[in-house]
């Protein structure tokens, strides 16, 4: 039975808890008295509590995030009622700010705010010696990353074979975007590069092929970014897949010449455009050269095999529907493979709240704290945008409708056309979740042929090609249009299927 139990509720089983592994790696001698126990948000708090208490820990370290905050609060309440003597230590972004206002922090024994890699070990040592520090809210100083033990050897074989493995070469962000917690995390700090690459080599040697970098700005330090890319390029093997977040307007030739050498589908760049409205960007402290960002996206789209995932935020202070629509159309014209439409969230601790009064910013009171309305976008319109984001993800981002999606807008505004489709789908289906692919395809077909008046033959041709490998049989309107192509099983030596579909690579 461990004295220290490290736990959290992941959004999905697929996501391995990066933070827990950092805490374990830095416990030093206490690691022999500790264990990691992961859950996910689909499990009931009462069942999670039963499993935790069966392990009889003295200290529970619990990671609290925006996706598990509600369930974590319920879990802590149950644990404290069932076993009051259990010492509960909270950490994570959701409790690193405004802790005094959170019931979960009041129920727990201690809350570590900030990067707890080293602070958690120090607290556990005191607690297991019988000491009870008087300060219940502990503000952890930024650790020297040269002292932080990297956690990559704690990914087990099951993680490597079946889960998303997170890695990071740096922490922090040099920018001050008011909606983002990373704007509070300055300066940018780097792990020792040689030690980091040695850890990556060990993961490669164990068979890991899919790496998700969580660095906010992998292309900030050009020498480091290029060294990491070259490291993986030199060791390329089929199925290698690397995800990076990149600064949109920073892609000099020194990086381009390395990027172009990667095979199609092996790199994915998450490009945070967020807004093209320069006055809105200035208002929230976001500095971005839009012309250069556009040029970089064109280069990536036309000259590389990079899978491009771009982000756009609705509900920023002062941005109205017309401005957001113009930005959306501008981004669509640049051809990213995916566009993530996100509604603004009021993350705890972020300075975006300073605009609340001036722009009548109203947020949902519970996680994920999405914007409900502003002075320029009312509640009903915000709900339409939320549904549009969901339908866009199912249709355009999924890669299932590559040939069909452009027919939605033809020569008209992509935003206006897709919003109209979204409104119609919601009226037709009554929901934006749990929609089977044949049901969705049939509804899109009906809209395109009867509402948008696209040529039936053109729609049939596009959707037949898009859905030739659909599981469970073709929708009725396609059932007699050409032979069905057998769907092949995903294998470990291929990048994710969604990205391959966008890039036109045969599955």
Instruction: Calculate mean pLDDT across residues 255-269.
Output: 97
3-state secondary structure of 261: coil
Instruction: Look up residue 131 and give its two tokens.
Output: 């000491």
Q: Could you give the CA distance from residue 337 to residue 463 in angstroms, rounded to a whole number?
A: 18
- Ranges 175-184, 246-255, 483-492: which has the least confidence: 483-492
* Contact between 60 and 90 (Cβ < 8 Å): no
For residue range 449-492, list pLDDT tens digits in order. 999 999 999 999 999 999 987 766 678 888 755 444 444 444 55
- Residue whose structure tokens are 């890695």: 167
Does this model's pTM top 0.85? My answer is yes
* Top-tier CATH class for 4-139: alpha beta
Beta strands at 189-190 and 170-171: parallel, antiparallel or unpaired: antiparallel
Band the pLDDT of 298: cuts 50, 70, 90.
Answer: very high
Band the pLDDT of 182: cuts 50, 70, 90.
Answer: confident
* Contact between 463 and 441 (Cβ < 8 Å): yes
Q: Where are the domains of the chain?
A: 4-139, 155-377, 399-507
* Top-tier CATH class for 155-377: alpha beta
Pick from 128, 95, 125: which is nearest to 110 by CA? 95
The CA-atom distances, in angstroms, between 292 and each of 2, 230, 463 are 53, 24, 36
pLDDT, residue 507, reads 58
Instruction: Look up residue 173 and give its two tokens.
Output: 């962000």
Whole-number average pLDDT of the chain: 94
For residue range 196-245, list pLDDT tens digits in order. 999 999 999 999 999 999 999 889 999 999 999 999 999 999 999 999 99
Band the pLDDT of 376: cuts 50, 70, 90.
Answer: very high
The CA-atom distances, in angstroms, between 4 and each of 1, 53, 261 are 9, 12, 46
3-state secondary structure 114-176: CCCCCHHHHHHHHHHCCCCCCCCEEECCCCCCCCCCCCHHHCCHHHHHHCEEEECCEECCCCC
Q: Could you give the CA distance from residue 230 to residue 224 in angstroms, rounded to a whole number?
A: 10
For residue range 302-317, list pLDDT tens digits in order. 999 999 999 999 999 9
% of the chain at pLDDT higher than 70: 95
pLDDT, residue 481, reads 52
């Amino acid at each position: 039975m461990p004295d220290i139990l490290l736990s959290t509720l992941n959004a999905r089983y697929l996501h391995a808890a990066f933070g827990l592994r950092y805490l374990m790696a830095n416990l030093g001698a206490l690691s022999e008295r500790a264990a990691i126990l992961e859950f996910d948000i689909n499990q009931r708090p009462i069942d999670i509590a039963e499993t935790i208490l069966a392990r009889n820990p003295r200290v529970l370290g619990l990671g609290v995030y925006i996706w598990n905050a509600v369930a974590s609060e319920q879990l802590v309440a149950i644990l404290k009622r069932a076993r009051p003597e259990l010492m509960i230590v909270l950490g994570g972004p959701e409790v690193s700010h405004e802790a005094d206002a959170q019931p979960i922090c009041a129920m727990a024994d201690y809350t570590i705010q900030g990067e707890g890699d080293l602070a958690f070990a120090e607290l556990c040592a005191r607690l297991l010696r019988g000491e009870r520090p008087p300060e219940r809210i502990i503000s952890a100083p930024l650790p020297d990353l040269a002292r932080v033990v990297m956690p990559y050897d704690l990914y087990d074989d099951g993680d490597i074979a079946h889960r998303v493995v997170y890695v990071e070469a740096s922490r922090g962000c040099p920018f001050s975007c008011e909606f983002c917690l990373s704007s509070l995390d300055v300066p940018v700090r780097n792990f020792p590069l040689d030690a980091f690459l040695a850890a990556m080599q060990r993961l490669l040697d164990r068979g890991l092929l899919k790496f998700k970098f969580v660095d906010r700005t992998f292309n900030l330090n050009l020498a480091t970014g290029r060294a990491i890319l070259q490291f993986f390029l030199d060791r390329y093997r089929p199925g290698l897949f690397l995800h990076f977040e990149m600064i949109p307007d920073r892609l000099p030739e020194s990086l381009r010449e390395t990027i172009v050498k990667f095979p199609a589908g092996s790199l994915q760049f998450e490009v945070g455009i967020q807004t093209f409205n320069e006055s809105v960007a200035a208002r929230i402290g976001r500095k971005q050269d839009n012309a250069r960002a556009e040029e970089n996206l064109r280069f990536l789209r036309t000259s590389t095999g990079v899978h491009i995932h771009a982000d756009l935020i609705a509900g920023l202070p002062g941005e109205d529907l017309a401005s957001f629509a113009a930005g959306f159309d501008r981004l669509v014209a640049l051809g990213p493979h995916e566009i993530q439409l996100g509604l603004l969230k009021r993350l705890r601790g972020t300075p975006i709240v300073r605009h609340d009064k001036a722009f009548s910013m109203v947020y949902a009171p519970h996680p994920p704290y999405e914007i409900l309305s502003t002075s320029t976008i009312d509640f009903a319109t915000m709900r339409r945008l939320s549904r549009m984001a969901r339908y866009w993800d199912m249709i355009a981002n999924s890669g299932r409708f590559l040939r069909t999606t452009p027919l939605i807008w033809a020569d008209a505004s992509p935003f206006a056309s897709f919003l109209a489709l979204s409104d119609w789908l919601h009226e037709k289906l009554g929901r934006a979740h749990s929609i089977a692919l044949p049901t969705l395809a049939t509804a899109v077909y009906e809209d395109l042929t009867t509402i948008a008046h696209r040529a039936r033959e053109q729609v049939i041709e596009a959707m037949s090609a898009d859905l030739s490998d659909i599981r469970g049989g073709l929708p009725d309107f396609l059932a007699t249009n050409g032979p069905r192509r057998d769907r092949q099983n995903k294998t470990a030596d291929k990048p994710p299927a969604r990205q391959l579909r966008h890039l036109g690579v045969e599955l």
